[in-house]
Structure 1
């Protein structure tokens, strides 16, 4: 069994790549944005070295990298290479996305929607392939405002449930493309909707553009945080990757939708309370006072980034009306438990590890301007 993976150098994708190498016996072929094969190999193997303690994974001969462009026809591959891959691969894990929370729909749609359509086309070329599509629970971020205070795996996302945010609208569009192909063309497809992806439970690692990193760092820089009324479905990045891999290989996965999250949602104020426990002196302020503080510290990149993220109104739940909905993932939790997936603790020790890593990696940026 050979599988094709997009997004294998990303936060979730690199860990999913490691899990697929551990759990399958065939080749894992990664499409990577690079100038040539050597560059693609270097990128994906470097990503694996940085996220996995198992050195054998990063040097596995079953790992292959192909330079590609998801926004181009045939992924930018030659006709010969494309057809060869289409005949070799029998499953596609589409994890790649342009994640820019403040971007317009037009900016990120070529990769997020166009790339998904090309993944669908690839799945229906040559040997029929199973598409494992990684979406996001963010497609329901504005569901409460749209009249849905609670969502479950079978709830269908719409452009109303995701709000006006360009990135989330592209994820709804991508899901619709997958569902249409499954209904009209018989595509075997499975949908995975991770919640807020938290730092790795093993070492506290998170990318510099991570949402949690951004709001925590902004609070530390400004010395304050807003009254947060929302709770978000969430899980650590390592659990997210493990769950997707395990669920994808379980019998009967085709046609399923999974909400990949820890059993209980994360109250967003807990992020700031954990920072206080870690020794940061933060005061709780109103939403407007927080925005004013961010503006006053706009010379700092963290404060400037948080100030431009209108999505914070919904993710943090800065008003009662804009709180995220309740998200049910019971069906997924049962399936993941049956597949042997263990949910890591996100307790005080975990957040201490996360905050320590944040300080170590970004000490200079966390200082007040």
Structure 2
């Protein structure tokens, strides 16, 4: 054991060390072997008691006094909106002094560090002292935007004794500059030479990289100034430290000004662009920047472009809270993706921190809460306030009860104008016209291109995965977005959402193509249309408007109107097969007394009695495609049963019908004695794999295939298992009740569920002359068919043994229905 002698103590005290600092030094010496071998947690060593004084030495105190003076002066000029960000806060040698002077002089002071232990230490010391303090993990070697920091958001950024440790100093400084408001300040404290004692104390802590190139990392004041000016700061000044401890310790305090980005007349720019572009392509928000960032080869570096973040403090909206149920639902959707309290019904989404990716997430959240809305991303960009979105919702004939179905609405949905649907089919066939001189390859090539619709959806994500896995082709993904970059971002985000893993090579084969299923020629024009026509081998059509409570009129435009453009694509030049994703819902008809189930693979003769608008629109689309097949176009239709979550991840899409049934069953707390109830669901990954493999194996590309489970799960057993796993009680603890009693219990508790589940359950559970819609969906016999048994390689149907007990066990353990 080493003890510091009296003579040494006296010598250290003359240099300004306190008894507390000497004790910490002595402890360091005695534990140096364990420290260097990693046996001692450095954070524990430095955070024990109040032993942080060594980081507040006299020379740092001088530096921080200069910083505090600059900040206090600026705070008085800015006023109560003043905001400060500190990066690399460490043990708080700057933080504690700044917190005191900013308590009544700043709106917010965000304290960040890469070390969780450092933040926990500072949080315990400071969090309860004042309200304007915020704490957050922040890694200077990662993009600030990806860590939730807003660009042009802070008046001052403080970085003390940290920037020489980052991987890429110029890149990090550039990132910090982007976070500053116009004329904002970056305040640095940096050593101009290597200090071995300082490195011994800090070198093993989180965020310190034990670098070997320190001779290149410690810059002089002039070098720091040159670097700051190079990355875009307009001024850089080293504060005078002559005669202070800073001078003897080779430390510099540097102040850099971000400058002001030139202003532009955004209204004039939008007006000009509206003369050249469609309305939905005119930007709602414009951000001026001094210059476009370029890569090493001189091309625009898109990753370095700033995101469209709200930095326009001149736009102040009157705070108006949601005034009705619809506005509240939209507001709640916004708040799940925006991390800001400054949201009111008149706020522009982009002005309060939104961007295109967050917009796509917001649309999903809104549709979860308002399932009748069926909001599209392009519509969101045209209605960028909660107030405008609420107006759009009401214009669609919805009401402020969020589309809850009444009993009479359910019965009415069984009655509709079949003549209108038949006329629609004939009108589309007349528009397409006769198909002459069909030229078709004997077999499609897996090396060229395929067109996929619905890649941003649930089934589409898995179809995309299978096409990438089973071919070497380019996959053209049609979709609506701001631009192709935005569409690709949405496609990849959708893949990530379902935890689908694809390689970089496969990502490179995804080609986003802007289009719109509801527009003539799918919204493809000129070169885009020609590219698709001349390159694709086949069309996989998975996109659809889906909603159990929606009418045929609601779904006609997307589910039927899109067939015209797809057919024209398939016919032009060389004939291309269309692989169409339909539904077994086209087989369920109400005949006046009950529900009739068709098992034939041909088309149901008429749409009479089809029970939901979705089934009616799919029947119409099938009718058009089968008529085109009779005229020579290669068409294969896949009628898919209830689609279940994937076998591995068990992740379902939003507004999943079966999850609504399971949720209300859990609340009801009873097991239905319903022997007729069967669930013929197929996991989405298996549906996609069999569909793609089937499409690539066949030569004639014609026919209708039914894809449902030949070994269905018993409905009663599923409810029993779900209650056992999620409630944690034995089956005997739950009463076994009649199906009618179980329905009554479910109706009594359904209003406790979120509004989107209520909308589904009102439709499923309410009685009609033919029983409930739930019975129609889950009391049907399978529609068996002759399937390609060769796919399984065993001589048995590949649609057997799809959902064994272990599948449901895993599903109920990983999915929370309430």
Using the TM superposition, give the Cα deviation of residue 352 of structure 1 relative to its aligned residue in structure 2, in angstroms.
Answer: 2.0
- Name the structure 1 match of 2:702: 255
Question: 2:455·2:477 contact (CA, 8 Å) conserved in 1?
Answer: yes
Query: Within the alignment, does 1:189 sit opposite 2:616 as a pair?
Result: no
Normalising to structure 2: TM-score of the pair? 0.41
Question: 1:294·1:304 contact (CA, 8 Å) conserved in 2?
Answer: no
- Name the structure 2 match of 1:351: 808
| Structure 1 unaligned blocks of 5 or more | none
Query: Within the alignment, does 1:37 sit opposite 2:484 as a pair?
Result: yes
SS in 2 for 1:19: helix
- Name the structure 1 match of 2:743: 290
Using the TM superposition, give the Cα deviation of residue 270 of structure 1 relative to its aligned residue in structure 2, in angstroms.
Answer: 3.5
* RMSD of Structure 2 on Structure 1 (CA): 2.9
- Name the structure 1 match of 2:378: none
Question: 2:588·2:596 contact (CA, 8 Å) conserved in 1?
Answer: no
Question: 1:94·1:116 contact (CA, 8 Å) conserved in 2?
Answer: no
C-alpha separation in 2, matches of 1:194 and 1:22: 22
Pick 1 or 2: higher relative contact order, CA cutoff 8 A, min separation 6.
1
Using the TM superposition, give the Cα deviation of residue 141 of structure 1 relative to its aligned residue in structure 2, in angstroms.
Answer: 2.4
C-alpha separation in 2, matches of 1:58 and 1:273: 45
Comparing 92-101 with 141-150, which one deviates more in the overlay?
A: 141-150
Counterpart of 2:543 (choices 87, 96, 100) is 96
SS in 2 for 1:174: helix
Superimposed CA distance per residue, residues 83-142 of structure 1 (whole angstroms, 9 cap, x where no aligned partner): 221111120000011110110110011111111232122211233211001101111123
Superimposed CA distance per residue, residues 205-256 of structure 1 (whole angstroms, 9 cap, x where no aligned partner): 1112111111111211333465543334321111000010000001335112
Counterpart of 1:328 (choices 784, 789, 799) is 784
SS in 1 for 2:808: helix
C-alpha separation in 1, matches of 2:488 and 2:544: 20
C-alpha separation in 2, matches of 1:232 and 1:342: 14
- Name the structure 2 match of 1:213: 659
Comparing 249-258 with 40-49, which one deviates more in the overlay?
A: 249-258
C-alpha separation in 1, matches of 2:499 and 2:801: 16
- Name the structure 2 match of 1:304: 758
Question: 1:15·1:52 contact (CA, 8 Å) conserved in 2?
Answer: no
- Name the structure 1 match of 2:644: 198
What pairs with 1:38-77 in structure 2 (closer than 5 Å)? 38-56=485-503, 60-77=507-524
C-alpha separation in 1, matches of 2:513 and 2:570: 17
Cα distance change of structure 1 residues 197 and 93 upon mapping to structure 2, 3 Å threshold? same
Cα distance change of structure 1 residues 128 and 212 upon mapping to structure 2, 3 Å threshold? same
What pairs with 1:142-157 in structure 2 (closer than 5 Å)? 142=589, 149=597, 151-154=599-602, 156=604
Larger Rg over CA atoms:
2
- Name the structure 2 match of 1:115: 562
Using the TM superposition, give the Cα deviation of residue 47 of structure 1 relative to its aligned residue in structure 2, in angstroms.
Answer: 1.6
How many residues are treated as equivalent by the alignment? 356
- Name the structure 2 match of 1:317: 775
C-alpha separation in 2, matches of 1:287 and 1:215: 15
Superimposed CA distance per residue, residues 288-322 of structure 1 (whole angstroms, 9 cap, x where no aligned partner): 65256435441422651343224885664279xx9
What pairs with 1:229-240 in structure 2 (closer than 5 Å)? 229-240=676-687
C-alpha separation in 1, matches of 2:595 and 2:668: 35
SS in 2 for 1:278: helix
Question: 1:224·1:285 contact (CA, 8 Å) conserved in 2?
Answer: no
- Name the structure 2 match of 1:12: 459
Question: 1:199·1:236 contact (CA, 8 Å) conserved in 2?
Answer: yes
SS in 2 for 1:309: helix
Superimposed CA distance per residue, residues 250-296 of structure 1 (whole angstroms, 9 cap, x where no aligned partner): 13351121112233233333431221332436544533652564354
- Name the structure 1 match of 2:792: 337
SS in 1 for 2:775: coil
Cα distance change of structure 1 residues 33 and 222 upon mapping to structure 2, 3 Å threshold? farther
Question: 1:8·1:30 contact (CA, 8 Å) conserved in 2?
Answer: yes
C-alpha separation in 2, matches of 1:318 and 1:328: 18
Comparing 171-180 with 226-235, which one deviates more in the overlay?
A: 226-235
C-alpha separation in 2, matches of 1:138 and 1:251: 25
